[in-house]
Amino acid sequence: MQPGYRIVRLLRRAAAAREGASTVEFAFIMAFFLIPLVIGLLDLGMGLFVQMEVGNSARAGAEYATYCKCADDQQILPVVQTTIKTAEQSATGLGTAVTAHTAQFCGCISATGSVILNFDDGTSTTVDGLTLAPGAVAYTDPVLNKTNLPSCDSTGISLCSDGTTPGTYVTVTAATTYTPFLPYPGIVPAGGSFTPNATATARIY
C-alpha cells in the first residue's frame, strides 16, 4: 500500500468520525459563557479592592490629623495639602489617583444627628453620629478657601445639649476612579467608570 494512500485514508476516517464532536461543541459554548464570567469576577474583585484602598486612604488622613493635632488654619493647611495627602497615597497602591478633601468642625455626639460638609468642587459628605456644637457653623471646604477653621475654643461656642464639652473633629474624604474591563450596560454609569469614595472622621481635641 502506497504511503500517500494511507494518509488519504486516515484523513477520510478522521473526517467521517463523529466521536467527540459534541465535546468540542460544548467546549466552544462554555468558553463563550465562561470568559465573560471570569472577566466579570475580575472586575468585581478589582472594584472591591479599589474601594478598600480608598477606605485605607481616608483613614490614613484622619489618623494623621489626630497625630498632628491640627486645630487651626495655620497648622492644618500645609498638613492637609502635603502630609495627609502623602499619607493617603503611601497607604494605598493608588498613588496620585486619590483625591482628598479635609474639613474641620466643632461637634457634639448625637445618635440621630449629622453634619453636612460641602466642598468647593461641588461634592459633599455627611458625617453621621455628630451635630454641630451650639454656636458652631459648618465651613465650606476650609482647606481650599482658607477660612478660619472652627475649633471649639472659638467665641460663641457653648456646651452640647447634654452638658458635655464639644470636640474638634476632622473629616477626611478620599475618592478615585475605577474603569471596569467591560461596559456592563445598566450597571456601569454612562461615563464608563465608577467613583469609589470613603470618609473617615476623627476627634483631635
The residue with greater pLDDT, 197 or 186, is 197
In whole angstroms, what is the distance from residue 136 CA to residue 155 CA?
A: 9
Domain parsing of the chain, residue ranges:
21-203
The residue with greater pLDDT, 31 or 64, is 64
Q: Interior CA angle at 203 toward 198 and 205, to 5°?
A: 155
Q: Which residues in 38-62 are b (16+ Cβ under 10 Å) and which e?
A: eeeeebeeeeeebbebbbbbbbbbb
Q: In angstroms, what CA-CA distances link 179 with 90, 163, 173, 198?
A: 22, 49, 20, 17
User: Residue 24 pLDDT > 50, yes or no?
Assistant: yes
Neighbours of 100 (CB within 10 A): 20
Residue 171 three-state SS? strand
Provide mean pLDDT across the span 187-197. 81
Residue-wise pLDDT tens digits, 70-81? 645 455 555 555
Whether the model clears a pTM of 0.85, i.e. scores above it, the answer is no
Provide mean pLDDT across the span 12-21. 59
Comparing CA positions, the residue from 44, 48, 50 lying closest to residue 182 is 44
Residue-wise pLDDT tens digits, 97-109? 778 888 888 899 9
Question: What integer best gives the mean pLDDT of the chain?
Answer: 77
pLDDT at 82: 65
